[in-house]
Amino acid sequence: MSNVPFTSNTAQLPDGIDIFFTDSGPPPGSTDYTTIIVLHGIAFTGDNLKKLHNHAHAFNLRTVIWNRRDYVGSSKYTSDELEDLNHGQRAFLDRLGVHLAQFLLWFIEQHNVPKVNADRTTGGFAIMGWSLGNLTAITLFSHKNLFAPETYELLGKYVKNLIIYDATLLAFGWRLPPSETPPNIYDPLTTFTTEPPEVAQHNFDVWVSSYYDHPKNPESVRDLHFARRTEFATSDTWSAEDLKAFHDYDAFRRSDMPVFQPTMQSIIRELSDRVLGLDDNTSTMAFPNCPIIYLRPTRTTWRCYWFGIQAERTYDEHRRNGRNVRTAIFLPIEGGNHFVSVVSLDSRDILTTCYRPTGTCRRR
């Protein structure tokens, strides 16, 4: 592993919006590198993903890791924006896509990044969401009418693909089937309103970063592994400094938790179905030629594991039935947990898979 020096930066977007990000910079001498925009998940900042920078240049990549809106360093949501979120308004989600597009335009202007080449193998942007960060990622691909025609045409020369990294079902608006869901299932996300903050935060850390043993082809949610934690969790390795840098629970409570409410989840499901091509509105899908790479760790939490399995099954069924789905491949990451890119798998494997869709991830 080579330690690639990265920089900390702030993009200044229209309407006074700031986005904090870290940047590996371009690979020295390269004129056809791909820039991966990485969007972090629930409660965690982009700080815990910074190890990806160390391997970027070896694979002709530039890694740009956000702190999403409301998280440390980036602009807080306004009261009007939070009102839209708390009332389940589609406008909140549309703005996520618009702001991501504005960031890409800013980055193109500031850094003159390469366009996607003719066979879509080099250059351009790969948009990568992790966990709930996939919600922000997919908004860019939901509806081409979000953008002015000239903006859409320009971005079409740069946006290369969408990488879904271990998405939670909440990022796609999917619900657990009640008939298949065990009663009193352990879900630490429900404890943030009932337990002291430090207890809820610790329980969430060990749960989300544990290693679970799920069946390869579960017939029901009931077949999954629902333990509160396992013998080893990635969070066991974090120092006090890591815990402080990796988290922003204030942002989580203020602007992630409202995403879970039923009205917003229904709107998110409609949006995500359009992105995947699971509805009948594919003619309005944004960037339809951009494929999806779905990275699915096999020892992740039950929420993420179940969604990955069901998303692939549903996608395959629609494709067999002749539906006009977006091109997608689903890649299992054997032995990986939710934090596979940070500890349990060499980060280079994640970047290899993102960059070469036929690549495989291997345990180190």
Which residues lie across from 39 on neighbouring strands? 129
pLDDT at residue 147 tops 90 = yes
Secondary structure class of 27 (helix, strand, coil): coil
Q: Count the alpha carbons within 13 Å of 128 in the hemisphere toward its beta carbon.
A: 27
The three-point CA angle 99-139-193 to 5° equals: 90
pLDDT in tens, 25-43: 999 999 999 999 999 999 9
HEC assignment per residue over 1-14: CCCCCCEEEEEEEH
pLDDT in tens, 340-350: 543 333 444 55
Distance CA 73, CA 208 (A): 24
pLDDT in tens, 282-332: 778 899 999 999 999 999 999 999 999 999 999 999 999 998 899 999 999
pLDDT at residue 358 tops 50 = no
Per the CB < 8 A criterion, the answer to whether 260 and 189 are in contact is yes
Q: What percent of the chain has pLDDT over 90?
A: 78
Could you tell me the pTM of the whole model?
A: 0.93
Distance CA 106, CA 300 (A): 35
Pairing mode, strands 292-297 and 34-39: unpaired
